[in-house]
Chains A and B, each alone.
Chain A
Amino acid sequence: GENVEQHPSTLSVQEGDSAVIKCTYSDSASNYFPWYKQELGKGPQLIIDIRSNVGEKKDQRIAVTLNKTAKHFSLHITETQPEDSAVYFCAAVPSLSGGYNKLIFGAGTRLAVHP
Chain B
Amino acid sequence: GAGVSQSPSNKVTEKGKDVELRCDPISGHTALYWYRQRLGQGLEFLIYFQGNSAPDKSGLPSDRFSAERTGESVSTLTIQRTQQEDSAVYLCASSFSYPTVGESVEAFFGQGTRLTVV
Contacts and interface: CB of A to CB of B under 8 A. Distances in A.
Contact of B106 (A34, A99, A102, A105): A34
A62 interface: no
Interface in A87-103: 89, 93, 96, 99-103
Contacts of A103: 33, 45, 93, 107
A100 B41 CA distance: 26
B43 A44 contact: yes
Nearest to B44: A105
B45 A102 contact: yes
Interface string B75-118: 00000000000000001010101110000011111111000000
Interface string A61-97: 0000000000000000000000000000100010010
A12 B48 CA distance: 34
A44 B95 CA distance: 14
Contact of B105 (A42, A44, A93, A105): A93
Interface of A: 32, 34, 36, 41-46, 49, 89, 93, 96, 99-108
